[in-house]
Structure 1
Amino acid sequence: MPKKLRSNFPHGSYLWAVRAAQWQALGIDESELEKPKIAIVNSSSNLAICFSHLDGIAAELKQSIRDAGALPFEIRTAAPSDFITGAGAGGAYMLAARDLITNDIEVAVEGAQLDGMICLASCDKTVPGQLMAAARLNIPTLVVVCGYQPSGEYNGRHVDIEDVFIGSMHALTGKLPVDELVGMARNAIKGPGVCSGMGTANSMHLVCEALGMALPGSSPIAANSPQMFDFVRQAGQRIVAMIEEDLKPRDILSPGAFANAVSVVLAAGGSVNCIKHMQAVAAEGGIDVDVYGLFRELGNRIPVLVGVRPMGEHSIEQMEAAGGGRALLKRLEPLLHGDALTVTGKTLGDNLQGVVVADEQVIRPLQRPFATQPAIVMLRGNIAPQAGIVKYGIDPSKMRRFSGPAICFERSADAIAALQDGRIKPGHVVVMRGAGVRGGPAMGGGASRVVFAIDGAGLGDKVAMLTDGHLSGLVCKGLVVAEVAPEAAVGGPLALLVDGDIIDIDLDHHRLDARIASAELQARARRWRPQPAQFGGGWLDIYRDAVKGMEHGAVLIKPLDISDEQEAGR
């Protein structure tokens, strides 16, 4: 044990006395006050099934931490779920909640000067919010993956939340009877946990393991399964040892660890949202890593080895049975940074010794991938000077090039109305803008709904779409360029497009361009004026005013600077 824990203060001092009084009233004996004090970061909520099981996990974790000789303190954060919290302000509260979680954690953990923390990772924004806090605070931290939900059946077919999401937009465009959608909704979810496809939540759970911030073998995992609770108990023991070893996130979050995580996302055909989330973690930790650049660099080198829905037809249960994230890392081992340190205190290479893949059809070998073309393609061009992102998928028949006239919308509702009345026609490039981190704000605006509505209207393979908004991790349909940056709200070139401009999308050459002369773009830029804010007030105005660009992962503030002098003075 370190000679001095930061949570301990001189016996009889003001801080010792008032903390002793508070904690004695909570049933903590004075004899325990010198023990390591560990935060259990819990985003429990009765609003969404994603978080409904976390209190039971926290209770088991508390006991494990006590058994290991430390004091657990449960703290709470926001608990955003796309399908619940996304109702307000066009979904703007979702990404904005990520950074609120980071600051919730800082207030509780840094304010109380706790010695370490275990983060209960569930729905997708909790995971990056927790990793960002770990990088910012840089105290011993371990992420516990809290599992995916069981899906159901309807009319003899598999049905999950992705099917309900897609079905809702198909019903809106008349492709699906409303009664069918109601039946799907009644049967899609059969228990707690995150969406069962390779959406943002399961993708970010894999990222935690690939970064070295979660125990090896812990993702993906069925929520509330015996295997999950085994990892919970192991985590309680391990966090105490990490405090003894003074093993901190910035020891683990190396450039090599980020490259490993990017490789896993590419190999699993994971969510494009992982890109900005990992960039945000790097920004919070002051780690010199260009995650966007890593996706460009590694995209053509990392084949798709896993085909879990919506990328392919396998289930997340099949991936777990085949060996999960650890087996996928084993497949990728020749391409990884095996010397990257992990929460085990060992390297990734050490953790992968003896790992075998249980099903070679589900987690393919490098020589027999599902696809060799990149699962995620990074574009640049005169309307995307920084980036545009395409999740391509594994179907080789999908479009890789598209040219057509733009039809532009400032609101998702207007785009959907245009679909319903037939104004969007085959050959169009649908431009849905004003949905970026400032314009949305926080990438609210419903870009995913427009994608699924296009699919429901039977135009999925007949039009393309550009947006500065983000897409649900469950979206893998059509040719859609998302997170075009700079965004329209700050005068990015997407804001300058008008109906009829010819747009060229070329995945083979990683290009996104409009056939507009530079002089004309500059003239349009001089005439440009920002659109009125879609939503505002309260937290959303604070977010809009503070948020940084996508190249910084859309973080709100510069990383907390806890200098060596501050550490020494504690």
Structure 2
Amino acid sequence: MAKELNPYSKAVTQDPTQPAAQAMLHAIGLSDEDLEKPQIGIASTGFEGNPCNMHLNDLAVEVKKSIKSYEWVGLIFNTIGVSDGISMGTNGMRYSLPSRDIIADSMETVVNAQAYDAMIAITGCDKNMPGALLAMGRLNRPSLIIYGGTIAPGCHNGEKLDVVSAFEALGKKQANTISEEDFKGVVANACPGPGACGGMYTANTMASAIEALGLCLPYGASNPAQSAEKRKECAEAGLAIKKLIENDLKPRDIVTKKSFENAIRLITVLGGSTNAVLHLLAVANAFEIDLTLEDFARISAETPYLADLKPSGKYLMEDLHQNGGIPAVMKMMLGEGLLHGDCMTITGKTLAENYKDVQGLGEKQDIIHSVKNPIKSSGHLRILKGNLAPGGAVAKITGKEGEIFEGTARVYDGEFLANDGIARGEIKEGDVVVIRYEGPKGGPGMPEMLKPTAAIMGAGLGKKVALITDGRFSGGTHGFVVGHISPEAFDNGALAYVENGDRIRIDAVENSISVLMEEEEWEKRKEQTPIKPERNVSGSLRKYSKLVSSASFGCITDL
């Protein structure tokens, strides 16, 4: 039990030498009695410009009501967001990954500057969640996350849709395999309302990882955005944060190396986004826990891939919710010995205790395969190394694309040039599309390559070509793709020296990625000075490019 419930806020609410602070708090409606209570910062990432975030301010109000019902003080503040779906394929996407650090910095700033005793973060889109996790690790005050929830599926001509359907429809249109009417129908119906992208893309991947880390309430990852369960979760937040404060249970008391192993195992079973590698590396750094690419390689090698979820499968998170949600998956994994059940969570109970009595997966469901009948006996996240990526690269190989690809390099110095080339029909069967100078420094901002990968899939080339980049991928990307190649081309990494016509081999069995060239010839090639494309950037992107680390360390900016 905590000795005092307001160890931080008392510096401004109880100190008689802080009358101005107290006067300002009275001005917002707090009484003398309120000034003796804990103050909880409610960090909302809500904004109107994105379906993932459009409802979060409403959820923040519900959380505030829940806190008030226990006669404690909840104060809402806001931070920024970037819609990956809206900025994808434009220069705006360069701001997406940097927004993660701005979100973390702003949450840390407000909670510290306002002397809040605890924090509840209301998150929705891809960078909101890791941003909140970074802040929680740095602050180490009682905290929890409320995920805004997954979007309902769209529908056109009887087919379930999501945002990636719209990107792939463009590829079909360019390949003349879809009518203009159906193209517009997909675009108009893909996203029917509030909630994060519906497949096992980055938002749902990170929400699942957060539940495995023990930092949200059970079912928090899979309760849909517009469900009664999500509202109930918000109503329970007040009691949850009250118990955390009373028991002085903080994020670093909960999250350990074993917690991260749980998170990695869960997203491996689910077929989660490669972005989770970047984010979990960065979050571990904020928690001062040693986590490396080798940990992902080790866990992926010994964990089966079981979930038939989009983008590689056919189901959405809402379908999984109807069959027990993430708790049902975790209960199955606990039974199979795939999780550390003794890890603590924000409920004050261990993972095993939280999920002991939850309903398991239904016998008739086919969303989650059994361990005895996996989609793939090992994980889809592959950490590749070789003469093209001595610092490592991340591949998302489900097995449906094959596990080895050897082909001819088709090189583009940037995503926009690649998009134009794909639209012109330059990509042929057997090509390895190389998109470089899109790394964290060179992009700058390490933009996602969903537009080119979706165009390739839409053109029917998904199993016939590979794509490699020092940029990254949306969780919605599928196909034979490799990203996060390190060192990046901008830092004179090997990718800068690849030429059209080079033979490239990607081996997800041996976990290698290499140019097929004699070592002496390759080293001679690398004596050349690569011609870097000009990037006229200023402001926050310029600052980011100077601070950011390699993708192999999670693109952290506070080294």
1:122-271 correspondence runs (5 A): 122-271=124-273
Partner of 1:565: none
Structure 1 residues 307-316 or 241-250, which shifts more?
307-316
467-476 or 308-317: bigger deviation? 308-317
* Aligned counterpart, 1:521: 522
Q: Counterparts of 1:53-452 in structure 2 under 5 Å?
A: 53-86=55-88, 89=91, 91-290=93-292, 292-333=293-334, 334-360=337-363, 361-393=366-398, 395=400, 398-444=401-447, 447-452=449-454
Q: What is the alpha-carbon distance in structure 1 between the residues aligned to residue 182 and residue 260 of structure 2?
A: 43
> Which residue is equivalent to 1:561?
none
Q: How far did residue 270 of structure 1 move?
A: 0.7
Residue identity matched to 2:393:
G
Q: Deviations over 1:64-100 (max 9, x none)?
A: 1112232111111111111224465251011111111
- After superposition, give the CA deviation of every residue in 1:191-235 in whole Å (9 maximum; x if it has no partner): 211011111001111011001111122221111311111111112
* Contact 2:14-2:36 within 8 A present in 1 as well: no
Q: Distance in 2 between matches of 1:455 and 1:12?
A: 61
Supply the AA of the counterpart residue of 1:339.
D
What's the offset of the Cα at 1:21?
0.8
Checking the alignment, whether the CA contact within 8 Å between 2:497 and 2:530 is kept in structure 1 is no
Structure 2 segments unaligned to the other structure (5+ residues): none
Residue deviations 1:407-461, cap 9 Å, x none? 21102222233334443322221111111111111112x5221112222333222
- Secondary structure at the aligned position of 2:108 is classed as helix
Q: How far did residue 171 of structure 1 move? A: 2.4
CA contact (8 A) 2:329 2:361 kept: no
- The CA deviation at 1:271 is 0.7
Give the match's secondary structure for 2:301: coil
Tell me how far apart the structure 2 counterparts of residues 170 and 35 of structure 1 sit (CA, whole Å). 59
- The verdict on how the C-alpha distance between 1:225 and 1:457 changes in structure 2, with shifts beyond 3 A counting, is closer
Stretch of structure 1 that moved more, 528-537 or 508-517: 528-537
The farther-off stretch of 532-541 and 378-387 is 532-541
Q: Distance in 1 between matches of 2:18 and 2:131?
A: 31
Q: Which residue of 2 aligns with 1:7?
A: 9
Q: Which residue of 2 aligns with 1:568?
A: none
Deviation at 1:111, TM superposition (A): 1.2
Amino acid at match of 2:254: I
**Aligned mates of 2:472, 2:379 — CA distance in 1:** 19
1:331, 1:366 within 8 Å by CA — same for their partners in 2? no
Query: What code does the residue aligned with 1:48 have?
Result: N
**How many residues matched?**
553
Looking at structure 2, the residues matched to 433 and 87 of structure 1 have their Cα atoms a distance apart, in angstroms, of: 15
Contact 1:143 1:213 in 2 (8 A): yes
Structure 2 Cα separation of the partners of residues 420 and 161 of structure 1: 20
Q: Would the aligned equivalents of 1:86 and 1:94 in 2 still touch at CA under 8 Å?
A: no
8 Å Cα contact 1:170/1:452 also seen in 2: no
Does structure 2 conserve the Cα–Cα contact (< 8 Å) formed by 1:195 and 1:201? Answer: yes
Query: More deviation in 447-456 or 124-133?
Result: 447-456
Alpha-carbon offset, residue 526 of structure 1: 3.3
Q: Is the 8 Å Cα contact of residues 84 and 93 (structure 2) preserved in structure 1?
A: yes
SS at match of 2:370: coil
Do the aligned partners of residues 85 and 515 (structure 1) sit closer, same or farther apart at CA in structure 2, a change above 3 Å counting? closer
Aligned 8 A contact 2:328 2:358 in 1: yes
- For 2:545, the equivalent position in structure 1 comes to 544
The more displaced of 546-555 and 513-522 is 513-522
1:499 maps to 500
Does structure 1 conserve the Cα–Cα contact (< 8 Å) formed by 2:12 and 2:21?
A: no
Change (3 A) 1:64 1:429: same
Contact kept? 2:411, 2:433, Cα under 8 Å: yes
Shift of 1:103: 0.7
Conserved? CA contact 1:86–1:93, under 8 Å = no
Letter in 1 for 2:347: T
Give CA-to-partner distance per residue, 1:148-177, whole Å, 9 cap, x none: 111221122222212012112332444433
Q: Distance in 1 between matches of 2:194 and 2:420?
A: 35
Aligned partners of 2:197 and 2:203 also within 8 Å: yes
8 Å contact from structure 1 (residues 36, 240) kept in 2: no
**Identity among equivalent pairs (%):** 33
1:535 to 1:261, Cα distance in 2 relative to 1, 3 A: farther
2: distance between equivalents of 1:14 and 1:541? 44
Q: Are residues 14 and 435 of structure 1, via their aligned partners in 2, closer, same or farther at CA, if it must alter by over 3 Å? A: farther
- Residue 530 (structure 1) shift: 5.7
1-structure distance, mates of 2:231, 2:14: 40
Cα pair distance change 1:457/1:190, threshold 3 Å: closer
CA distance in 1: counterparts of 2:410 and 2:14, whole angstroms: 71
**Is 2:489 the counterpart of 1:488?**
yes
Task: Give 1:411's aligned amino acid.
Answer: G
Q: Is the 8 A contact 1:485 1:550 kept in 2?
A: yes
Once the two structures are superposed, what CA deviation does each residue of 1:516-569 show, in whole Å capped at 9, x if it has no partner?
2333333333322461443511111111111111232101114xxxxxxxxxxx
Cα distance in 2 for partners of 1:60, 1:309 equals: 31
- The CA distance in 2 between the partners of 1:76 and 1:103, in whole Å, is 12
Q: Which runs of 5+ in 1 are unaligned?
A: 559-570
**1:566 corresponds to:** none
Among 474, 477, 481, the alignment partner of 1:475 is 477
